[in-house]
Structure formats: structure tokens, C-alpha cells
Amino acid sequence: MSKYDFRKDFSPTATQVVENATIECMRMMHSYVGKEHLLLGLLMASDGEASKLLTKQAISLNRARNQVDLMHGPRGYMSLEPHLKASAKHALYLAWLHAMLAGSALVETEHVLLALLKKEGNKDAIDILKLLQVDIGLLEANLMKLLESKRSGNNFARRLNRPDEENGESND
């Protein structure tokens, strides 16, 4: 397994996701950062493309936090330096690998989301999304469109931020 470096291989927003996940982990009094915390970190990084895709499916940070609390509850003590759980490390490695294979200079939030949606190993992030009644298939399809548009240079990512001309809705 190649080694990635948050300081040089992750965009500032993707790095913020990991920092946000650590903060959420500490807030919840967990001793480790898991995939569920990375999901919360993505939602907190509101300027990231992954957050925009998630909020487009009506996922709010508060609802996701509540589901994590229901699933895991407080652990009783807070570590000042929570470690990344093996499943979270693996997800970040997959995000790095996806980015490198796609020819991206940096890991972006959408690569982290793609890694969280992998159905191998610990599925806490997927389980939380299902509890929030997210259409995982639609989320994956929109994520793949976004990644493909970035590769081909079209404007799908920009349309996430613009009003939908077909039905007059705003994405704000």
C-alpha cells in the first residue's frame, strides 16, 4: 500500500474533512475516527462537492449526527488524539487511489465520498445514509457524473450550485 500525505496529496477541503471528522469524534466522546465521522466531516465541509451532493438529497449535518449518536452513543471518554480506525484509514487510502487513477492532482471530497460508498468492510457510513433514507444508487450515479465531468471538463459540478432550470428550484 502506497503512503499518502494529507499535507500534499489532499486538497485543503479534503484535509478539512479529516480535521472535521476528528472534531466530531471528540465531540461524541469516541476514541477513534471511523467512516461515520468522515461522513460527518464531509457534511461539515460545505464548500466541497461531496457535501453539495449529499445536501442535494436532503441530508443535513444534524440528522446525520443524530444517526451516529443513535448508532454508537457516547463512549464515556474523549481522547485528545483520536486515531483513525482501520476502516477509515482504508477509505482514505481508497480516496487517494481513486484520485491518482483518475489523474487528479489532489484528493478531493468527492473521492472521499466515493471511498465511503464502497460496500467492503465497515459499512457505518452507508448504514447511516440508509437510515436517513438516502437513495444510494442515485447518490452513486450523481457522484459518478461529477467525477466524469471533472475528467472531461464539462460543467456538471457548476450546475450543482445553480438553480435547476427545469423546475425553478434552487440548490441553496
Beta strand extents in the chain (DSSP E only): 32-33, 83-84
The CATH number of whichever domain residue 138 belongs to comes to 1.10.1780.10
The whole-number average pLDDT for the span 40-63 is: 93
Q: What is the pLDDT of residue 159?
A: 52
Could you give the CA distance from residue 121 to residue 124 in angstroms, rounded to a whole number?
9
* Domain, as residue range, for 104: 6-159
Q: 60 or 72: whose pLDDT is higher? A: 60
Q: What is the pLDDT of residue 31?
A: 83
Could you give the CA distance from residue 139 to residue 105 in angstroms, rounded to a whole number?
24
In-domain check, residue 94: yes
Q: 21 or 77: whose pLDDT is higher? A: 21
pLDDT 10s digits, 12-41? 999 999 999 999 998 888 888 999 999 999
**What is the number of structural domains in the chain?**
1
In-domain check, residue 172: no
